[in-house]
Structures are given as C-alpha cells and as structure tokens.
C-alpha cells in the first residue's frame, strides 16, 4: 500500500555485525513518504545492515544488537532495546528505540500543524478523494507494480499467534488479512506454514491489488484465497461467515479509512471473528514524521491527510484507538470532533456507504465493549542520518485486541 520515496537517506549508514536486522525498520511503509522529500527509488524499508560501517564501534551491552540482551526476543511489544542514555552519542547508530521527541521537534511539529490547518484540502478535492477511494488505490497498485512492500518476515516475531496457528498440529485455523495489498503479510505467513488445515483470506479494497496477489507464484488456492472486500460494507468477505475467523490482521490499513467509517469497520471485524478471536494491529501514531512533514493542500481534518497519490492517512493516539476498539467511541463521537465542512462533505461523498453504516450505529451506540485490549503499545523510534546530522522521529501503534 505504499507509494512515494523510501527512507534510505534517513538512515544512510548502519552498524556492521548486526545479529538481526530490525523488523521495525523493515516494516516502515513508504506510501506516505511523498511528503518527506526523500528522493531515493521506492522500496518498503531500510534494514539496519544496509550500509556497512567504515569503522566498527565498540558495542555497549545494552544495545539491541547484543543477542544476549535483546528484549525483543522475549516480549515483542518491547520494540527493541537500543536505549539512548545520557552521555550517548546520538549519531553512534542510525536508530534508537523508545526515544521521546525533544522540545525542538515538538515546537517544529506544532508550527507545521498550524501551517497545515491554514492551507487545507479544498472542499472540491475533499469530495473528489472521498467519493471513490478505491480508484486511488487501484491507480497506486497499477503505477507501482514492481515497488511494493518488502515481505513482512517479522510478523511471527511481533505477533506470536501467527506462529501458533501455522504449527503442524494447530488444527483448522482461518486468518483474515484486511488490506492485504500485494500479499506481503499473507505470503510470509504461508511460507512458514506447517499446518495442513490453515486457510488465509487475503482481502483488499483494490481489485488491482487482488490481481497482484493471485498472479504471485506462491499463490496456492488450497491455502490462500484473495478477494476484493470493503471492510466498511454490509457484506462479509467471500467464503467467510460470521464467527469463522481465528485471527484478523490489520497492518497500515485502518489509517486509510475516513473517521466516520471506523465504527463500521470494527463492527465487521467483530462479526467475522470467532469468540475469543484475535486482531493483530499496527498503524501510524500521532506525531510521526510523516504527519509533521505534510505540506500545503494535504490537510483534510485533524490528523487526517490526503497523500500525493490520492490515498488517505490518519494518525492515531493510543487512547483514541483503545476507545475505538472497545466500542467506547461511536460514529456520533467521531462526527462531533470533525469540522462541520469536513463532516458534511464526507457524508455527501460517501452517501452510498453512509446509509449502510448508519443502520449499524444503533448497535454500537450502546458502547458495550466489542474487544478487550490485550496490549496496545507505542513504538517510538529515532532515526538519524549520520552524514547530515539529521534526526527524525517515527511513531507507530501496535496492538492485540481480543473479541469479547
């Protein structure tokens, strides 16, 4: 689901002798990088071992590339353990974990947000981009056929349930990937699969993306089925019934939805999951560099933007996500936070789906928790370009939500 330029200039060099290349860096989507003015050819990510060091630095024991002290191996939601301590040289490595933004960055971010609000997307363009979102995703995949995400080989490390359901003796299991893109989640899971009774349903809003999956040489209909499906529609994915899915995977997909589609999407995920079924979630966090760097004419609403390729992206807050997935935030709550012009144009543009969404709002209004939040972590990372002495802050949210 990505377009734009990738981040190799953001982290131009890396320590040699890495035991494991960071899965977080491998997971960085580049679709939003059109806003970052980075001019390298498109790929999904930069691994930390991409460029060798000219001089090997002595490695302190607390760094994440010490395999004997790598917290990521014991708890995926630790998000690495290369801590930037007082006295450390920030340019010693090209990435640091758990780094809070400094005052200078916060001030810069607020200045950028103010400029974005002063130059929003026009009402005409709001209607244009909201009227047929699938069109823009189809164009994206058509124009970037050779430049998709790298396969997410880190998935089973970050979400151990994906390792469990692919074990030989796991029994009948069903995985639903929502926003499957080019299959960069489905195919790595399939490659590790030893379960003869596993079935993966890879669904995407874009028919072009689904065609890409079906043409992949690893596509085996015995284990994987790719279909076009809108997570905000009334229908369930082809071949699936209510309460039939063990694990739902949503990685950098929820942010593509309009805020008034969230409740319906969560409701549909709840419908398709078995009791006790699990959601594996990862998406953009508030204050991520990609948000801060958006320029004039990209601001749709607070934390909601349109990229240069016509696709949309929202940047979430941790508490906000918890409210959405537990059912504490309804469409009425969302609309109350939108500017009137945005709420009106969105309702007008998406009138066809809005009526269907409203038919389910009464169910969700009760605010009975739909999911239990098992884990919801903020993954903060400081990337540095040691050649230009440039610091860049990234922020993602990662969670596990279990159906009540």
DSSP per residue over 91-123, as a string? TSSSEEESPPPPHHHHHHHHHHHHHHHHSBPPH
Instruction: Show the tokens assigned to 266.
Output: 């969560």
For residues 312 and 256, give the distance between their C-alpha atoms in angstroms, rounded to a whole number.
Answer: 5
DSSP structural state of residue 172: S
In terms of Cα–Cα distance, which of 186, 231, 239 is closest to 213?
Answer: 186
Residues of the chain predicted below pLDDT 50? 1-74, 76, 78-79, 84, 89, 91, 337, 340-343, 345-353, 355-367
Q: Compute the radius of gyration of the chain from its Cα atoms.
A: 21
In a domain? residue 245: yes
Per DSSP, the chain holds a count of helices (H) and strands (E) of 14, 11
pTM over 0.85: no
CA distance linking residue 48 with residue 322, whole number of Å: 31
pLDDT at residue 255 in the model: 94
* Residue 103 belongs to a domain: no
Beta bridge partners of 384: 391
Q: Return the pLDDT at 309.
A: 79
Helices 123-131, 340-349: inter-axial angle, 10-degree rounding: 40
Is 36 part of any domain? no
| 254 is a domain residue | yes
| Among candidate residues 10, 350, 30, 35, the one with its CA nearest the CA of residue 181 | 30
Q: What is the DSSP letter of 319?
A: H
How far apart are alpha carbons 334 and 301 in whole angstroms? 12
331: containing domain: 123-285+311-376+395-403
* Distance from C-alpha of 70 to C-alpha of 285, rounded to nearest angstrom: 24
What's the half-sphere exposure (Cβ side, CA atoms, 13 Å) at 6?
Answer: 19
- CA 357, CA 258: separation in Å to the nearest integer? 12
Residues ≥6 apart with Cβ < 8 Å to 230? 134, 205, 353
Q: Between the CA atoms of 37, 141, 301 and 116, what dihedral angle is there, to the nearest 10 degrees?
A: 10
d(CA 292, CA 107): 11
pLDDT at 393: 80
Which CATH number belongs to the domain containing residue 131 in this structure? 3.40.50.150
Q: 109 in a domain, yes or no?
A: no
Give the count of domains, the chain: 1
Tell me whether residue 71 is in a domain. no
């Amino acid at each position: 689901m990505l377009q734009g330029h990738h981040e190799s200039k953001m982290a131009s060099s890396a320590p040699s002798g890495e035991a494991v290349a960071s899965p977080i860096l491998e997971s960085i989507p580049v679709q939003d990088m059109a806003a970052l003015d980075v001019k390298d050819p498109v790929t999904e990510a930069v691994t930390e071992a991409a460029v060798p060091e000219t001089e090997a630095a002595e490695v302190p024991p607390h760094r994440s590339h010490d395999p004997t002290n790598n917290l990521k191996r014991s708890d995926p939601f630790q998000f690495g353990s290369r801590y930037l301590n007082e006295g450390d040289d920030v340019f010693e490595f090209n990435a640091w974990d758990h780094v809070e933004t400094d005052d200078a960055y916060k001030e810069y971010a607020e200045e950028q947000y103010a400029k974005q609000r002063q130059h929003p997307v026009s009402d005409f363009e709001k209607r244009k981009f909201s009227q047929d979102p699938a069109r823009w995703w189809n164009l994206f995949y058509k124009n970037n056929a050779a430049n998709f995400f790298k396969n997410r080989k880190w998935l089973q490390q970050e979400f151990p349930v994906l390792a469990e359901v692919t074990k030989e003796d796991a029994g009948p299991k069903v995985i639903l990937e929502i926003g499957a893109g080019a299959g960069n989640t489905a195919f790595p899971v399939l490659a590790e699969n030893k379960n003869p009774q596993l079935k993966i349903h890879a669904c995407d809003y874009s028919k072009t993306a689904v065609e890409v999956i079906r043409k992949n040489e690893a596509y085996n209909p015995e284990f994987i089925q790719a279909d076009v499906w809108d997570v905000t529609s009334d229908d369930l994915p082809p071949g699936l019934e209510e309460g039939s899915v063990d694990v739902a995977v949503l990685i950098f997909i929820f942010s593509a939805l309009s805020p008034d589609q969230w409740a319906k999407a969560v409701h549909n995920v709840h419908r398709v999951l078995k009791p006790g079924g699990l959601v594996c979630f990862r998406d953009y966090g508030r204050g991520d560099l990609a948000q801060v760097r958006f320029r004039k004419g990209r601001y749709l609403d607070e934390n909601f933007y349109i990229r240069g390729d016509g696709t949309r992206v929202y940047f979430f807050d941790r508490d906000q996500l918890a409210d959405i997935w537990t059912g504490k935030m309804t469409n009425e709550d969302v609309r109350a936070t939108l500017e009137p012009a945005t709420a009106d144009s969105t309702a007008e543009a998406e009138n066809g789906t809005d009526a269907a969404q409203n038919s389910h709002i009464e169910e969700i209004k009760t605010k009975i928790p739909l999911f239990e939040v098992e884990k919801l972590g903020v993954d903060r990372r400081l990337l540095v370009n040691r050649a230009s002495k440039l610091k860049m802050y990234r922020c993602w949210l990662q969670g596990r939500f279990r159906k009540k």
